[in-house]
Amino acid sequence: MSGITKLVEHAKIPRFVKVRQYFPHNELAEEQIVRLIKENFRRPELKERIKEGQRICITAGSRGLSNIVLILRELVNQVKALGAQPFIIPAMGSHGGATAEGQLDILASYHITEASMGCPIYSSMETVVVSQVNGLAVNLDKYADEADGIIVVNRIKAHTGFKGVYESGLMKMITIGLGKQKGAYLAHSAGDDNMPERLFLIGSEMIKKRNIILGVGLLENAFDQTYKIAFLPGGQIPEEEPKLLLEAKAAMGRIFLDACDVLVLQKIGKNYSGGGMDTNVVGRSRLPIGIKSERMAIFELSAESHGNATGMGRADVATRKFLSQLSFDATYPNAVTDHDSSTYKIPLIVDNEREAMQTAMAICLNIDYENPRIIILKNSLEIEDILISEALVPEAKLQENLTMMSQPFDLEFDDEGNLCTML
């Protein structure tokens, strides 16, 4: 029992209903992905840019991208087929505690290893300044700088912290991924509102100064599955990526309800979103995006985050288990790089998951305790099946993309107060 247990006991947890949200299933099969990559590497212009004996750098980021092992391995295979020598680098700014070893560990957690890729993986936080643009140094990973050419790979999607012509994607990978901590720090130094412009300026300058052979843009549907792969010659990335971003935004998942009193995330983590949680889905942002919630509770940090709890400051309440999973050494380098401490602050810490829900309810300002509106998600990516409290059922029944999958039921908790009911 914690010091606040008696203070939140009046917040009774309501009954819930399992709801299924419907999104289009248009994902590519593995054989389709392999065929697309092979077909694009047969293009004459690509053969002209990758020559026999050249050393070609391929980027690997810190997100849990769908099919990333298959995609990277096939890119490696195709570079080899052209007679060149591929290698992979971690391209992830300050993630992994801003250390070379930490970034290798992140790749290994996604099964991206020298054995699985069939090529070397070189990791360093050292960069080379290849140019200057508007007074900003253009930093490039030292191993990428030594390569004869670079293939940039990343998911193109809406960013959680800023909006613009460029958000998450290839230009961001060029600027922040290849720029490592130094490049990411400089790009963030004028705040999020200036990020799209800086991604354009620095990314474009890098394309001018170094041989960016190809950008491989991955688009994922609402199930976080690859549904499109765009192969962009390096010089076309600045012009073509904004079109792909608009397409990606139209395909992304969302919660088909407008608001709730309490939003519960069973897990947050860097593998779900760079911000730990995708604010385009869960809100809790300075931007008018995602569902509106008065309070948020989080239960756990994903193992794939390696202790990086970026985004925890968006929540109001978390569990002791979450706190035990948190690593300051893994988390705070992101705060320094972002020039922002707000999403890195620790929420209220309570004993268990039941108490986290009760506390989030108890600190709401405008809530009907007899009919609280609560939504429970596994995380901000897996949102096909969700739990909603009974008070939200009438609204949910009006949504054509929602279907009730159960009758109302009581949540089950174990002896330690942690949720047993599975989504």
- Is 414 within the bounds of a domain? no
- Same domain? For 331 and 389 the reply is yes
- Same domain? For 183 and 246 the reply is yes
| DSSP, residue by residue, 6-62 | HHHTTS----EEEEEE-----PPPHHHHHHHHHHHTTSHHHHHHS-TT-EEEEEE-S
- Is 421 within the bounds of a domain? no
- Same domain? For 165 and 288 the reply is no
Is residue 346 within 8 Å of 314, Cβ to Cβ? no
- Same domain? For 383 and 270 the reply is yes
pLDDT in tens, the chain (423 residues): 678 889 999 999 999 999 999 999 999 999 999 999 999 999 998 888 999 999 999 999 977 788 999 999 999 999 999 999 999 999 998 888 889 999 999 999 999 999 999 999 999 999 999 999 999 999 999 999 999 999 999 999 988 888 999 999 999 999 999 999 999 999 899 888 899 999 999 999 999 999 999 999 999 998 889 999 999 999 999 999 999 999 999 998 999 999 999 999 999 998 888 889 999 999 998 888 899 999 999 999 999 899 999 999 999 999 999 999 999 999 999 899 888 898 999 999 999 999 999 999 999 998 999 999 999 999 998 999 999 999 999 999 999 999 999 999 999 999 999 999 888
Whole-angstrom Cα distance, residue 152 to residue 233? 10
- Same domain? For 172 and 189 the reply is yes
- Same domain? For 11 and 68 the reply is no
Total count of domains within the chain: 2
Domain end among 198, 232, 251: 251
Whole-angstrom Cα distance, residue 245 to residue 227? 14
- Is 423 within the bounds of a domain? no
- Is 417 within the bounds of a domain? no
Domain end among 251, 281, 314: 251
Domain that includes residue 319, residue range = 5-23+254-404
pTM for this predicted structure: 0.85
- Same domain? For 97 and 246 the reply is yes
- Same domain? For 214 and 198 the reply is yes
Name the residue among 219, 243, 216, 220 with its Cα closest to residue 231. Answer: 216
- Is 413 within the bounds of a domain? no
- Is 353 within the bounds of a domain? yes
Name the residue among 241, 214, 215, 239 with its Cα closest to residue 47. Answer: 214
Whole-angstrom Cα distance, residue 335 to residue 330? 10
Domain end among 223, 251, 279: 251
- Same domain? For 109 and 168 the reply is yes
- Is 147 within the bounds of a domain? yes
